[in-house]
A and B are shown apart, each in its own frame.
Chain A
């Protein structure tokens, strides 16, 4: 078993070396494909995060005029809580609002330093079960005296969601097409490699090697190319992405964006899986029939 495995690996390397130019071209093509796939993956995962973020923010915010008393607020909260579709009502005082803004701005907090007094109004955050309720609740709320303004992201949320879903769908198709192309590339390269080693394959078949014994070196060759390509693609993507995140955080600090090693490792595992699968699957495809006939 170990002996055969060593033989397969040795033959795989020999074949890669023999067709070094084609091997290099394959790895470059596959790497480029995987990078593009990776970019779409990153975009798609970030869209997921965006959507999750938006969904957790299915809220209407009612801003109070400054002259609202505690009692009135309490009464209003109770009333709103009983409305259909309302999940949770949360009162945010002027002070809390300022505190939250400070947290959101993080290191850019100093922007607020020059303010003479707290300009933020107190407000009610009303979480709803579904986007559909927002409009209704918002129009109800705006009829109350003492409420200055009601904000809700109804239309915006809807259109954002549909845009994101569209981008995701397109992305998925592009990924599928790219993967098919990558498999075709692998298929052709292994075909060339099989062709260039026709003599060896023929001799193997004639001296009694089983068809799987003949196939293994090529499958390993596909595996190695897939593995190498995904490693390069991952290295390139993670470096670029880290740089990109750095830039984005600088410009739009509160934008929700996937960061951290966990996310990159996830991308890495997906790329590795794809690269190896393409390599192995492409090889298998080109080796469907190693024939004992007509030798």
Chain B
């Protein structure tokens, strides 16, 4: 599903964010991307949804070489990828339902289908009761769930989440994790960038560890790292 061959990313300020990354994430896999702040986790996720292009090397997503993907076709790639951000990126002047529906509206989905799909996903995520509430009235955990709902409402092939449990208490974090496992079971490839040691260790999934832009370990049923 996702392949990277000798990927380097250097930003204009000469900072090497990623250094010779080679990895292969298969369809339906659940992968943790761990490492300290500034290790290049977010940069790696951006490469997958073509938020940025690599300075060197190839990124292939669902058989498409992103360096050769025309700019006009980027939106169609993005429709296959759900993204959950650390900073939520919610629309605070629209209620829960509209926030989720927004991602379907912009791709021209029919209203009747929007209604059906949004209600369904809100029910799964556990926000159906709050569908008329505005985001600023939701707790941190609920806002995170809302982001997930928006990311998966179109049933993407890939779900990318950046620090989904960042500011949440352990209980809520685990709830979010369970939700991500559930989505993974649907067949969606899930990549979670995290430095939540507790969650990573508990999950017993594949763990790719980045340090200063380099992959230092890649383990099946891995743990965060020895301290």
Contact = CB atoms under 8 A, between A and B. Distances in A.
A288 interface: no
Contact of A207 (B51, B78, B93): B78
Interface stretch (A29-37, A196-204, A219-227, A251-259): A196-204
Nearest to A1: B108
**CB-CB nearest 8 A-B residue pairs:** A208-B79, A209-B106, A207-B103, A208-B78, A295-B51, A208-B75, A210-B75, A292-B74
B91 A207 contact: no
B83 A208 contact: no
B108 A203 contact: no
Nearest to A293: B52
Interface in B3-57: 46, 49-53
A208 B89 contact: no
B111 A208 contact: no
Interface of B: 46, 49-53, 71-72, 74-79, 83, 89, 91, 93, 102-103, 105-108, 110-111, 150, 154
13 contacts: A3-B111, A206-B78, A206-B83, A207-B103, A207-B106, A208-B103, A208-B107, A210-B72, A210-B75, A213-B75, A292-B74, A294-B51, A295-B51
A203 B107 contact: no
A48 B69 CA distance: 57
Interface in A196-254: 199-200, 202-211, 213
A213 B89 contact: no
Contacts of A207: 78-79, 83, 102-103, 106-107, 150, 154
A3 B79 contact: no
Given A209-B75, A210-B72, A203 B103 contact: yes
Contact of B91 (A7, A199, A210): A199
A162 interface: no
A198 B158 CA distance: 25
Interface residues of A, number: 21
A199 B76 CA distance: 20
A18, A207, A210, A292: residue with the most chain B Cβ atoms closer than 10 Å: A207
Contact of B46 (A203, A205, A295): A295
A209 B107 contact: yes
A4 B108 CA distance: 6
A203 B89 contact: yes
Interface of A: 3-4, 7, 18, 199-200, 202-211, 213, 292-295
Nearest to B111: A3
A181 B76 CA distance: 38
B79 A203 contact: no
Nearest to A294: B52
Contacts of B91: 199-200, 203
A200 B108 CA distance: 16
B144 to A, nearest CB: 16
Contacts of A18: 93
Given A203-B89, A207-B78, A292 B71 contact: yes
B112 to A, nearest CB: 11
Nearest to B73: A210
A206 B49 contact: yes
A91 B69 CA distance: 83
Given A294-B51, A295-B51, A7 B105 contact: yes
Given A293-B51, A294-B52, A208 B71 contact: no
Contacts of A200: 91
A3 B101 CA distance: 14
A199 B74 CA distance: 19
Nearest to A3: B108
A276 B225 CA distance: 62
Contacts of A292: 50-51, 71, 74-75
Contacts of B77: 208
B86 to A, nearest CB: 13
A204 B101 CA distance: 12
A18, A211, A292: residue with the most chain B Cβ atoms closer than 10 Å: A292
Contacts of B79: 207-208
